[in-house]
Amino acid sequence: MNSLLYNLNKISNPHTLKMTIDDYKSKEKGGKSLKLAFTLLLDLWYIWALIIISAILSLLKPKIKGVLGEKSVSLLLSRLDPKKYKVLNNLLIKVGSKTVQIDHVVVSNYGVFVIETKNYQGWIYGKEYDEYWTQVIYKRKEKFFNPIRQNYGHIQELKEILSDLGNIKFISVVVFTTKADLKVEAKTDVVSTTALVETVKKYNQECLTDEQKEMIFERLISKNINSRKNMKEHVKNVRIHKLNGKK
């Protein structure tokens, strides 16, 4: 009872009453601010989502571009006559202690086509034996390793694992997507995707029998160790070699 009277006297005190009202208003104002901030966060969730997605895409952009370029080439190669051309995409083979990734291999009666795909845009400058080529987009220039040399290395690796199958004709082709304006001087076929099938078909002199073609194809399938785990390990090793200044 005494406690109740004390609280009533405290509330009836004008000074105490003012403090109580001010405290209530302050708490109410703070609560409204928090509620407003929470509402804004909810209303603008899509902006945060876009920021996060943009960050992720910027990290994955090179990989996505590479995959899209290879997929478009795979689609074009699927139009070749399957009786004459047998296509392997995204081949990962182990040669000695290292692995080699090859974008596309086409085993045909006219030879074995080894195709390196580049999904670059802008002007592309380079010559057959240059160590590096140059990509120009407006005033920005970027150098990248000569894909003809890169593909030459792939062919040497294939020769090693197919050495017991006789003398095989290998044909190197470097293909860029249509975003690139090619200003390349080379004897090796360096073409855009629109000219790829035509380029393959221009080789029309048979040099492999159906039996040889099948043996080569089966050998490559048996050597293909492409899996998510192995590809991840391969990419890791490539990055290490680049950091060490090796090709």
* Residue 193 token pair: 């995707």
Residues in the chain: 247
Burial of 47 (0-12, 13-18, 19+ CB in 10 A): exposed
Compute the distance between CA of residue 45 and CA of residue 35 in angstroms, rounded to an integer.
Answer: 15
3-state secondary structure of 109: coil
Higher pLDDT, 180 or 62: 180
* Residue 90 token pair: 């995204």
Predicted confidence (pLDDT) at residue 213 exceeds the cutoff of 50: yes
Helix ranges (H only) for the chain are: 2-12, 14-43, 45-77, 147-161, 196-201, 210-223, 228-243
* Residues paired with 132 in a beta bridge: 145
Compute the distance between CA of residue 221 and CA of residue 105 in angstroms, rounded to an integer.
Answer: 11
Predicted confidence (pLDDT) at residue 60 exceeds the cutoff of 60: no
What average pLDDT does the segment 107-136 reach?
97
> Which pTM does this prediction carry?
0.70
Q: What's the mean pLDDT when you consider all of the chain?
A: 80
3-state secondary structure of 144: strand
3-state secondary structure of 81: coil
Question: Tell me, what's the pLDDT at 41?
Answer: 59
Q: Give the CA angle between residues 38, 58, 146 to the nearest 5°.
A: 175
